[in-house]
Structure 1
Amino acid sequence: MVEVGFFGAAGEVTGSMHVLDTGADKILLDCGMFQGRRKESREKNENFPINRSDITTMILSHAHIDHSGRIPLLTKEGFSGRIVTTRPTKDALDYMLLDSGHIQESDALYLNYKALRTFLYQAEQSKTKQQIANKEKSRIKKLLKKGPHELDVDAIAALQKEYGLDMVTPLYTQEEALESLSFIDGYPFGSQVTIGRGITVKFYVAGHILGSAFSVITVTPENGGKPLKILFTGDIGRFEKPILKDPTLEFDEEDRDIDLMIIESTYGDREHAPVADLSGSLKDTLIRTVERGGSLLIPSFAFGRTQELIYILHQLYESGAVPKVPVYVDSPLASNITKVFGEHPETYDKETHKIFLEKGINPFYFKDIKFVESVEESMRVTQDETPHIVISASGMCEAGRILHHLRYKIHNPKHTILTVGYMAQHTLGRRIEELGLQENQAADKAPEVKILGKSYPLKAHVEKIGGFSAHADRHELMRVVSESNLRVKDIAVVHGEADQSAAFARRLNENGYNAFVPTPGERFKLP
Structure 2
Amino acid sequence: MKIQFCGAAKMVTGSNHFIETGKYNILIDCGMFQGNQEIERMNFKEFPYNPAEIDYLILTHAHIDHSGRIPKLVKEGFKGRIITTKPTYDLCKIMLMDSAKIQEADVEWENRKRQRAGKKPVEPLYTMDEAEISLKFFETYLYNQMIIINEDIQLRFRDAGHMLGSSIVELWIKEKEEYVKLVFSGDLGMPNRPIINNPEYIDEADYLIIESTYGDRIHEGLGQSTEKLIEIINKTVLRGGTVIIPSFAVGRTQELIYELNKYYEYNKEIEEYMKIPIYVDSPMAVQATEAFQANSSSFDEETKDLILKGDNPFIFPNLRYVKDQNESMALNKYRAPKVIISSSGMATGGRVRHHLKHNLWDEKNSLVFVGYQAEGTLGRIILNGAKRVKILGEEVAVKSEIYDIEGLSGHADQIMLLDWIRKFKVKPQKVFIVHGEVQSAQELSEQIRDEFKIETIIPDIGDKFNIEKQSIELSKTIRIEPSHLKENIAIEIENVYAQLKSLNIRKEQFTDSKLLEREYDTLKNILIELQQNLMDLNMMIGK
TM range (shorter): 0.7 to 0.9
Contact 1:311 1:364 in 2 (8 A): yes
Aligned to 1:491: 431
- Offset, 1:431: 0.6
For the structure 1 residues 488 and 386, does the alpha-carbon distance in structure 2 shift closer, same or farther, using more than 3 Å as the test? same
Question: Secondary structure, in 3 states, of the residue corresponding to 1:257?
Answer: coil
Structure 2 counterpart of 1:332, from 265, 283, 308: 283
TM-score by length of 1: 0.85
Aligned to 2:198: 246
For the structure 1 residues 32 and 328, does the alpha-carbon distance in structure 2 shift closer, same or farther, using more than 3 Å as the test? same
Contact 2:204 2:425 in 1 (8 A): no
Question: Secondary structure, in 3 states, of the residue corresponding to 1:237?
Answer: coil
Aligned to 1:284: 231
Aligned to 2:169: 215
Aligned to 1:515: 456
1:449 aligns with 2:403: no
For the structure 1 residues 5 and 361, does the alpha-carbon distance in structure 2 shift closer, same or farther, using more than 3 Å as the test? same
TM-score by length of 2: 0.82
Structure 2 distance, partners of 1:465, 1:365, is 24
Contact 1:59 1:85 in 2 (8 A): yes
Aligned to 1:94: 93
Aligned to 1:461: 401
Q: How do residues 45-444 of structure 1 correspond to structure 2 at under 5 angstroms?
A: 45-111=44-110, 115=113, 161=115, 164-165=118-119, 167=121, 169-195=123-149, 198-221=152-175, 223=176, 225-249=177-201, 251=202, 256-318=203-265, 319=267, 320-321=269-270, 323-354=274-305, 356-435=306-385
> How many residues are treated as equivalent by the alignment?
463
Structure 2 distance, partners of 1:95, 1:362, is 22
- Offset, 1:493: 0.5
CA displacement, residues 238-259 of structure 1 (integer Å, 9 cap, x when unaligned):
011121110002x4xxxx4311
- Offset, 1:111: 4.8
Structure 1 distance, partners of 2:132, 2:425, is 40
Question: Secondary structure, in 3 states, of the residue corresponding to 2:385?
Answer: helix
Aligned to 2:419: 479
Structure 2 distance, partners of 1:162, 1:419, is 38
Question: Secondary structure, in 3 states, of the residue corresponding to 1:422?
Answer: coil
Deviates more, 1:306-315 or 1:482-491: 482-491
Question: Secondary structure, in 3 states, of the residue corresponding to 1:218?
Answer: strand
Question: Secondary structure, in 3 states, of the residue corresponding to 1:385?
Answer: coil
Contact 1:25 1:196 in 2 (8 A): no
* Amino acid across the alignment from 2:379: G
- Offset, 1:313: 0.8
Give the gaps of 5 or more residues in structure 1: 116-159, 437-446
Contact 2:33 2:42 in 1 (8 A): no
CA RMSD between the two structures: 1.7
- Percentage identity across paired residues of the two chains: 40
* Amino acid across the alignment from 1:351: E
- Offset, 1:167: 4.5
Question: Secondary structure, in 3 states, of the residue corresponding to 1:8?
Answer: coil
Aligned to 2:518: none
For the structure 1 residues 349 and 370, does the alpha-carbon distance in structure 2 shift closer, same or farther, using more than 3 Å as the test? same
Structure 1 distance, partners of 2:280, 2:123, is 29
- Offset, 1:383: 2.5
- Offset, 1:110: 4.2
Structure 2 distance, partners of 1:109, 1:499, is 38
